[in-house]
Amino acid sequence: MLSTVIAFSALAIAANALAIPVDPAHRIELSSCEFPNNTANALNMYSCSTSGDTIEVNWVRITDLNGVDMYPIDPRKPFILELVAFNNGPDYEDNKVDVRVFEYQKSWQTGKCGWAEIPTFGALNGIDGCDFAKNCPLTSGDLDLKIELDLSPYSNIISMLTANSAIQLQISMKDYNPGSKHEEITCVTAQLKIN
């Protein structure tokens, strides 16, 4: 009787061990992290500007193409990042925006959660800020910048993102005035939940 129980238990353990590598739900659970900075409920943003940057971003909003707030964000659909900002510098005739994408993941090496960069192969570099917002030049003083982000053509990027996870967009805007050295004029980090 006892040996039967032991044999059965051993079988159950073996079956469980075998099941782990082929059970994707279990794998996701093993690698999941808490949502950092309350991103389960709302966008979190902060400045990543360095001392030379002239534009101060006060807040960020994410909407669909009709200007309607949305949260969490569906990365398969284009969305608009609205940056409400103040320009302490000169007028900018032209600017370009580089976006880096990170996902909040558990490191397989350390077991700790942190931001891992998702390679975008330059797909989100050099976005023409003027072209979309049609509000150039960026004049001194108050600014309301709208940048369209459309990841939908980049299914290879989207396929690297985990559904229902936190991602981080690092948005750096560069001066493209004639004669400029393409210096950064502002940097913003936005942390948000995707579905």
Residue 148, helix vs strand vs coil = strand
Q: Provide the minimum distance between the beta carbon of 181 and ligand NAG in the complex, in angstroms, as a whole number.
A: 29
The span from the CA of 10 to the CA of 55, in Å, is 64
**Residue 158 parent element (H or E):** helix 155-158
Give yes or no for a contact between 48 and 170, defined as CB atoms under 8 angstroms apart: yes
**Quick one: 43 or 127, whose CB is closer to ligand NAG?**
43
**Quick one: 95 or 191, whose CB is closer to ligand NAG?**
191
Give yes or no for a contact between 42 and 59, defined as CB atoms under 8 angstroms apart: no
Tell me which residues touch ligand NAG (CB under 6 A).
Answer: 36-37, 44, 46, 191
**Quick one: 46 or 59, whose CB is closer to ligand NAG?**
46
Question: Tokens 């959660």, residue?
Answer: 113
**Quick one: 49 or 191, whose CB is closer to ligand NAG?**
191
Q: Provide the minimum distance between the beta carbon of 24 and ligand NAG in the complex, in angstroms, as a whole number.
A: 26
Q: Provide the minimum distance between the beta carbon of 85 and ligand NAG in the complex, in angstroms, as a whole number.
A: 17
Q: Provide the minimum distance between the beta carbon of 44 and ligand NAG in the complex, in angstroms, as a whole number.
A: 6
CA atoms within 13 A on the CB side of 180: 16
72 cis-preceded (ω within 30 degrees of 0): yes
